[in-house]
Structure 1
Amino acid sequence: MKKNLLFILLFVILFTANSQAQNKVWDFGNDVTNFPVGPELSTTTVVDGLTLEPGGGSGFGVVESNSATWFADTAAEYVSVNRFKGGGNSNVDPSDGVTFMPTRRYLSFPVEGPVAVKIWMRQSGTSLPRALWVTDGTAAVTHYDGLGDTDPQYMEANYTGGAGNLYILCAGNAYNLYKIEISSTLLGLNDLVSPVETNIRSVKNKIYVYNTKTSTDVKIYSITGALVKEFKTNSDIDFDFKAGIYIATLTTADGKKSVKLSTY
């Protein structure tokens, strides 16, 4: 019996250590200890488990003052004071469906299994084409196609593969990076318990408000915190919505909750 308990305890400890190893934040925007303001990188550099691979001498790795705000006035608000410059493309374009391993100007980090990946970024200029990709070296995890503006942007996705390395790279023109987060808690599996029964979700280009049992105030915000839609409903409703990442708040007599939405 004691041996069984010892084995179970050891398993829990190892599982906990493994899970904790999957949770990491690299905050270029505010962590001046690990990412101080400074010039471009000329050699491979590893910072807190994140590998920064330069190449081409085009400004990759410059950390400089550049403030920006994501999800303003919501629980997910993020404000940066600096940025990490991508400095150009990574010499590959995964949109060809063949080439997923960058050869220059990219970031990489090890994972031990499935993780959620979140990236706060924005374009370094308005010229197109440009895209930010996350790959595992052999296939795409997710990507974001530039829209020709320099507004704050955000992307997230689940990596469901095994142990290995993930790569962040630019195709076409560059992106500036502000924060990268990985978490062993996959997206969509970490909903908070709320007394508000009304729910909201996005499916492709539609948003659905459902399980509406009482009058509900609905507000939808852009990632910069701008209110883009507001209405009150007493019944289920659905509608088309412009592609993007949003935060929706649902308020009833029972309380308030926030939900992240992604339309495409």
Structure 2
Amino acid sequence: MKKSILFAAASFLFSAFSLNAQSKTWDFSNDTANWPINAGIGNTPMVKDGLGLFPISTNTNFAAITNSSQVSFSDGYVATGNRLQTNGGGAVSTGTYHPTQRYFFIEVSGPVTFKAWYKAGSTGAVRTTFVSNGYATLYGSAATSPAASPADTAILTATIPTAGTFYVYTDAAINFYKMEVSGANVVTTLNSNQLSAIDSSVKVSANIFTNGSDLHIANLSGNTKVNVYTANGALVKTLETKSDVNFGLKTGLYIVNVQTDKGVKSQKVLIK
């Protein structure tokens, strides 16, 4: 079964404040104006300089900026200042690539390339960074290696093929020195409504996918309201259900909004 899944926050469709750019760089090593030394962001998700940060509820040290000695990377990039620490891994929901803690989220309006420079948080340890659409698709991953030169470092390059929100997370503690998104579809501003939608979607278990011309909504856990919108914001389908459901749609791009007592989840789907 071929499943086409495009994940995005609901308010992405309606935001009038997002700006497209050719590229966006988060230079944790040298940009002390946006990324000053700090002990972490606490327990509340936030957007900082266009980069979404989702912490962990049990401590406050995710995204701490600390001093670092000079680190050289295989492509010639040299980090001479600070580093951003995850201080742990981003556990994923069972059977998915959806991180539940200590992750980054970035919104784009079309295909882009993502690149990150990082080092293992423990000397000699093999640590991996992942990039996904937040559900069934892994866009890329790269592991550090103590045998590599320079040791313990890695550079991850991943192609993001579609508009929406993508996620960056690790399997253990990793220190990031720089992240970069390049292409004509970089969205440089996330707003608070988008952040709320992404935050609450973590709590909603519904799986949304397509099979041919049919839209499927599965893994429902109670009373669920479903609204389906066109890319222009027109409501084309609404229903309430307690069990899995599927129905046909015409060819096109849609926003599927699922509301439960645990929160709201929205996802872009493409019917071909």
| TM-score, normalization by structure 1 | 0.55
Amino acid at match of 1:44: P
Cα deviation per residue 1:150-192 (whole Å; 9 max; x = unaligned)?
53321112221x2111111011x21111100010179xxxxxx
Cα deviation per residue 1:225-254 (whole Å; 9 max; x = unaligned)?
xxxxxxxxxxxxxxxxxxxxxxxxxxxxxx
Rounded Cα–Cα distance in structure 2 between residues aligned with 1:69 and 1:137: 30
Give unmatched runs, 5+ long, in structure 1.
Answer: 1-17, 187-264
Aligned-pair CA distance for 1:148: 4.5
Aligned pairs for 1:1-264 within 5 A:
20-42=20-42, 43-55=44-56, 56-57=58-59, 59-71=61-73, 76-92=76-92, 98-126=95-123, 128=125, 130-138=127-135, 139-148=137-146, 151-160=152-161, 162-171=162-171, 173-184=172-183
Q: Percent identity?
A: 31
Give the number of the structure with larger relative contact order, counting CA–CA contacts within 8 Å between residues 6 or more apart: 2
CA-based RMSD: 2.7
Aligned-pair CA distance for 1:78: 3.3
Cα pair distance change 1:50/1:120, threshold 3 Å: same
Q: Is the 8 A contact 1:136 1:167 kept in 2?
A: yes
Rounded Cα–Cα distance in structure 2 between residues aligned with 1:61 and 1:106: 9
Q: Secondary structure at the match of 1:28?
A: coil
Higher-Rg structure is 1
After alignment, is 110-119 or 19-28 more displaced? Answer: 19-28
Cα pair distance change 1:146/1:78, threshold 3 Å: closer
Rounded Cα–Cα distance in structure 2 between residues aligned with 1:123 and 1:84: 12
Q: Is the 8 A contact 1:135 1:141 kept in 2?
A: yes
Cα deviation per residue 1:1-33 (whole Å; 9 max; x = unaligned)?
xxxxxxxxxxxxxxxxx9952511011111001
Aligned-pair CA distance for 1:90: 0.8
Q: Secondary structure at the match of 1:165?
A: strand
Give unmatched runs, 5+ long, in structure 2.
Answer: 1-17, 186-272
Q: Is the 8 A contact 2:104 2:169 kept in 1?
A: yes
Aligned length: 162
Aligned-pair CA distance for 1:63: 0.3
Cα pair distance change 1:116/1:144, threshold 3 Å: same
Cα pair distance change 1:123/1:58, threshold 3 Å: farther
Rounded Cα–Cα distance in structure 2 between residues aligned with 1:177 and 1:128: 15
| TM-score, normalization by structure 2 | 0.53
